[in-house]
C-alpha cells in the first residue's frame, strides 16, 4: 500500500503547539458533564444586547442566504458619524481579535519585534507567534500596564508595534487620557501603537484620549462585544489613518462580516438608552462583586471594565485553588496567568441572580481551597 503523506506544513506551523488562548466555557462544560450555573468568566455582557439589535438580527436573518456587504458600508458610515471621523478612517472586522490578526499579518514578518505586557490579553501574542514574530514583554507596574517600560523596550528592540489595552484586561486597571497621549508622542519612529479600547464605554470620563484620526502612529480598536452585548456576533472596528485602513484590504477576509452581525451592530450603535442602562448595571455589579469578595477577605482592585479582579491574598497556587473550587461548584471564572497578577481571580459582571449564586457558593469554595 502506498503511503500518502500528510499536509506539508510550514516549518513555523510545525513548530507551534495546537493551543488556543482560552479554554471556552463550553469546552469545560463538556468535560465536566454539566453546565455552569453562573457564567462569570468571559467578560461578556450578561445584560444582553439592545432589543433593537435583537429585532434587527431577526429581520436580517431572512436574508442570511446572501453574503454580507464586504465593505460594511452602512455600519462604517454610522461609526464614522458617531466618532466624527471620515469613513476612510474606519475598518470593521471580526471582533478586535480578528483585527489584531490582520494587523500582525500586515506588520510582522518572521523575526520582526513587537512589545506587550507580560500577562496582558493573550490573543495578540497568539497572532504574533503565528506569523513568526518575536514578542518582548515587560512586567506590569502596580497592577497597571507600564507605558514607560513598553516604550523603553520598544526602543531597545526596534519594535514595529506596541500592544496596550486601556482599560486593561485582566486587571481592570486604566490610565488617564493624558498618559496615553504622552505615550503616543513618545513612540519611537516607525512604531505603531495598537490601542485596545474594548472596555472604553465602561470607563470613567477622561479615560479616552483625543487622537486625530489621521495620526499614523496609532490605531484605536473597539468592539461591540462588551458594553453593547454582542460578543457572539463578532463585530470590532478600528479607527486610524487612511493609509493603514486601506491596507487592511490587502489581507482581510472581505466576506468575514455576516449580514446579521452588521445589522445588529448598526442597531446597537443607535440605541444609546440601552448602553446607558448597561453601564449602570455594570457599575452596580462591580460594587456587588467587591462586596462579596470583601465579606470573605478578598480585596477588589479598582475596575473600569465589566469585570472585577479580586486579590486572593496569596500566590498563584492559592488563586488557582479558589478558581478550581468555584468551577467545581458550577461558577465559571478565570484568573490572570502571570505572576504577580496570578494571585487574583477575575469575575465578570453578572446579573443579580448570577451574583447571588457567587455569594452563596464562594464561602464553600474558599473553605475547600484552604484545606490541607
Report yes or no: 148 and 177 within 8 Å, Cβ to Cβ.
Answer: no
pLDDT at 21: 77
Same domain for 163 and 91, yes or no, is yes
Same domain for 59 and 42, yes or no, is no
pLDDT at 20: 75
Same domain for 94 and 206, yes or no, is yes
Same domain for 152 and 233, yes or no, is yes
Last residue in a domain, options 270, 296, 311: 270
193: left (phi over 0), alpha (psi -120 to 50) or beta: beta
pLDDT at 18: 84
- Calculate helix-pair angle for 352-369, 316-328, nearest 10 degrees: 120
Measured CA to CA, the distance from residue 326 to residue 69 in angstroms comes to 43
pLDDT at 225: 98
Instruction: Give the structural domain span for 294.
Output: 24-48+273-369
Grid cell digits, residue 243: 493609509
Number of C-alpha atoms within 13 angstroms, CB side, residue 242? 4
Q: What angle do CA 99, 21, 159 make, to 5 degrees?
A: 55
Give the SS3 label for residue 298: coil
Which residue, among 263, 254, 266, has the nearest Cα to 61 in the 3D structure?
A: 263
pLDDT under 70: residue ranges of the chain: 1-4
Measured CA to CA, the distance from residue 186 to residue 197 in angstroms comes to 20
Last residue in a domain, options 248, 270, 292: 270
Same domain for 254 and 113, yes or no, is yes
Measured CA to CA, the distance from residue 289 to residue 152 in angstroms comes to 36
In a domain, 263, yes or no: yes
pLDDT at 32: 92
What secondary structure letter does DSSP report for 258? -
Number of domains in the chain: 2
Measured CA to CA, the distance from residue 188 to residue 20 in angstroms comes to 32
**Single pTM value for the model:** 0.96
In a domain, 290, yes or no: yes
Report yes or no: 98 and 234 within 8 Å, Cβ to Cβ.
Answer: yes
327-to-41, 191, 193, 336 alpha-carbon distances in Å: 10, 41, 36, 16
Amino acid at each position: 500500500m502506498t503511503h500518502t503523506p500528510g499536509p506539508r506544513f510550514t516549518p513555523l506551523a510545525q513548530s507551534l503547539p495546537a493551543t488556543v488562548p482560552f479554554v471556552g466555557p463550553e469546552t469545560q462544560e463538556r468535560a465536566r458533564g454539566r453546565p455552569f450555573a453562573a457564567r462569570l468568566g468571559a467578560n461578556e455582557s450578561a445584560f444582553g444586547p439592545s432589543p433593537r439589535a435583537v429585532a434587527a438580527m431577526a429581520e436580517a436573518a431572512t436574508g442570511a442566504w446572501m453574503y454580507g456587504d464586504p465593505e460594511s458600508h452602512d455600519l462604517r458610515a454610522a461609526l464614522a458619524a458617531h466618532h466624527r471621523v471620515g469613513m476612510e478612517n474606519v475598518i470593521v472586522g471580526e471582533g478586535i481579535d480578528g483585527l489584531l490578526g490582520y494587523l500582525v499579518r500586515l506588520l510582522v514578518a518572521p523575526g520582526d519585534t513587537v512589545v506587550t505586557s507580560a500577562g496582558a490579553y493573550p490573543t495578540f501574542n497568539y497572532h504574533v507567534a503565528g506569523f513568526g514574530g518575536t514578542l518582548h514583554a515587560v512586567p506590569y507596574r502596580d497592577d497597571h500596564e507600564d507605558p514607560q517600560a513598553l516604550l523603553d523596550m520598544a526602543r531597545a528592540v526596534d519594535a514595529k508595534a506596541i500592544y496596550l489595552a486601556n482599560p486593561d484586561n485582566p486587571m481592570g486597571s486604566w490610565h488617564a487620557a493624558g498618559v496615553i497621549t504622552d505615550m503616543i508622542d513618545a513612540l519611537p519612529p516607525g512604531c505603531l501603537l495598537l490601542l485596545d479600547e474594548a472596555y472604553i464605554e465602561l470607563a470613567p470620563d477622561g479615560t479616552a484620549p483625543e487622537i486625530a484620526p489621521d495620526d499614523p502612529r496609532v490605531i484605536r480598536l473597539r468592539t461591540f462585544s462588551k458594553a453593547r452585548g454582542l460578543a457572539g456576533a463578532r463585530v470590532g472596528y478600528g479607527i486610524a489613518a487612511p493609509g493603514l485602513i486601506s491596507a487592511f484590504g490587502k489581507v482581510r477576509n472581505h466576506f468575514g462580516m455576516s449580514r446579521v452581525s452588521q445589522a445588529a451592530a448598526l442597531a446597537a450603535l443607535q440605541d444609546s438608552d440601552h448602553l446607558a442602562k448597561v453601564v449602570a448595571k455594570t457599575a452596580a455589579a462591580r460594587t456587588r462583586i467587591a462586596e462579596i469578595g470583601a465579606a470573605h477577605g478578598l480585596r477588589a482592585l479598582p475596575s473600569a471594565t465589566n469585570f472585577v479582579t479580586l486579590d486572593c491574598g496569596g500566590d498563584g497556587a492559592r488563586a488557582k485553588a479558589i478558581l478550581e473550587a468555584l468551577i467545581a461548584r458550577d461558577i465559571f471564572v478565570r484568573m490572570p496567568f502571570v505572576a504577580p497578577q496570578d494571585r487574583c481571580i477575575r469575575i465578570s459582571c453578572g446579573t443579580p441572580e448570577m451574583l447571588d449564586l457567587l455569594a452563596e457558593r464562594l464561602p464553600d469554595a474558599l473553605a475547600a481551597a484552604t484545606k490541607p
